């Protein structure tokens, strides 16, 4: 025999929590999900009852009852890159108070892995999706279109799509780096890129376009590798560039860790920065302001991207906003390396 209203497993049910808290099951459910319309005193009673009984919600049952789960799936290409950590923390801070569970997927910059993650998570009927960029496999695009799940894209803008996104122009950021180096009197300018995800390639296109407009583009000075971005790799690519092109006088790195590695390698070799060669990074990661010399970088709004993307998704879920594109811009932070 089981208790009245209990699961056959003997675990306490939502009905028991509601009875102990002297509220309806609907109120108990809303209180435990963090719905703002429930009075604070009722929320406290329901949570105390749930704690007393040892009640744990069954997300699968909730999904069956409501035709969707209370999860928001967030897919990012890397969890080792600090810029995505800041974005994820901001997303969590916005969605958790609404009773939404953030489920994170890392696809390691692999379109095939991202497609598999989408297929798996969409089977569980999430409330919403937060995805990184627009570039994905045709099969993944079909899955998204067929799912009907509200979706917001992060880190990129695309004026040709009628989809919600929050980010900034990667190409304009690359062009800004080129214009800054040119304004410092540099003419032999290199773009140093690793990982080669779509956003890295977009920055390179912007950098190239600005150099072409100034008559200063040399394809031989564009160095790229699919290897993951790292401080060690930055030092290696910096040394290779100087050996193969001793006249290079400015370098734009696709990520700050590469630029930090270049600055450290220059210090080891006794190469004067910026007198001999100027360095500029991207993302303005922690540590760049404390390098020797302090690193010029393009600061990206990583935390705000996560916050605004999550808020936009909530608006789509509530039906209070239409799909829109939010351009948060970027900031060139000029320091001693240029």
Average pLDDT, integer, range 220-225: 96
User: What is the structure's pLDDT at 1?
Assistant: 37
Average pLDDT, integer, range 227-246: 96
How far is CA 8 from each of CA 2, 11, 12, 19, rounded to the nearest angstrom? 6, 8, 10, 18
Using the predicted structure, report yes or no on whether residue 290 has a pLDDT greater than 80. Answer: yes
Most confident of 25-39, 134-148, 187-201, 311-325: 187-201
Using the predicted structure, report yes or no on whether residue 111 has a pLDDT greater than 80. Answer: yes
pLDDT in tens, 47-67: 899 888 888 776 555 555 555
Tokens, residue 162: 């009628």
Q: Which of 49-58, 97-106, 263-272, 292-301 comes out lowest in average pLDDT?
A: 49-58
Average pLDDT, integer, range 10-39: 85
Tokens, residue 218: 């040399």
Average pLDDT, integer, range 29-36: 79
User: What is the structure's pLDDT at 291?
Assistant: 96
For residue 160, name the pLDDT band (cuts at 50, 70, 90).
confident
SS3 154: strand
Mean pLDDT (the chain, rounded): 91
Using the predicted structure, report yes or no on whether residue 82 has a pLDDT greater than 90. Answer: no
User: What is the structure's pLDDT at 61?
Assistant: 57
Contact 234, 190 (CB under 8 A): no
């Amino acid at each position: 025999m089981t208790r009245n209203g209990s699961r056959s497993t003997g675990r306490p049910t939502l009905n028991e929590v509601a009875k102990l808290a002297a509220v309806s099951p609907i109120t108990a459910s809303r209180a435990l999900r963090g719905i703002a319309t429930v009075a604070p005193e009722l929320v406290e009673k329901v949570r105390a009852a749930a704690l007393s009984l040892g009640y744990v919600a069954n997300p699968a049952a909730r999904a069956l009852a409501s035709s969707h789960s209370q999860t928001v799936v967030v897919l990012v290409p890397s969890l080792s890159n600090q810029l995505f950590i800041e974005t994820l923390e901001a997303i969590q801070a916005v969605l958790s108070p609404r009773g939404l569970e953030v489920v994170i997927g890392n696809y390691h910059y692999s379109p095939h892995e991202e497609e598999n993650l989408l297929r798996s998570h969409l089977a569980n009927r999430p409330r919403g999706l937060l995805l990184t960029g627009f570039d994905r496999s045709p099969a993944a695009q079909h899955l998204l279109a067929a799912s009907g799940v509200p979706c917001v894209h992060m880190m990129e803008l695309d004026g040709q799509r009628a989809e919600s996104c929050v980010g900034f122009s990667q190409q304009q950021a690359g062009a800004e780096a080129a214009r800054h180096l040119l304004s410092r009197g540099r003419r032999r300018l290199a773009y140093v890129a690793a990982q080669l995800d779509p956003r890295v390639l977009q920055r390179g296109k912007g950098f190239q376009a600005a150099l072409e407009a100034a008559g200063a583009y040399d394809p031989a000075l564009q160095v790229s590798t699919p290897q993951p971005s790292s401080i060690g790799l930055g030092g290696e690519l910096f040394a290779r560039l100087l050996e193969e092109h001793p006249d290079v006088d400015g370098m734009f790195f696709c990520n700050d860790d590469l630029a930090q590695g270049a600055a450290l390698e220059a210090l080891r070799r006794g190469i004067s920065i910026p007198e001999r060669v100027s360095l500029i990074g991207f993302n303005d990661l922690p540590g760049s302001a404390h390098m020797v010399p302090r690193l010029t970088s393009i600061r990206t709004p990583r935390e705000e991207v996560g916050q605004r993307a999550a808020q936009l998704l909530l608006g789509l879920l509530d039906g209070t906003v239409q799909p829109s594109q939010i351009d948060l811009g970027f900031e060139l932070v000029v320091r001693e390396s240029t």
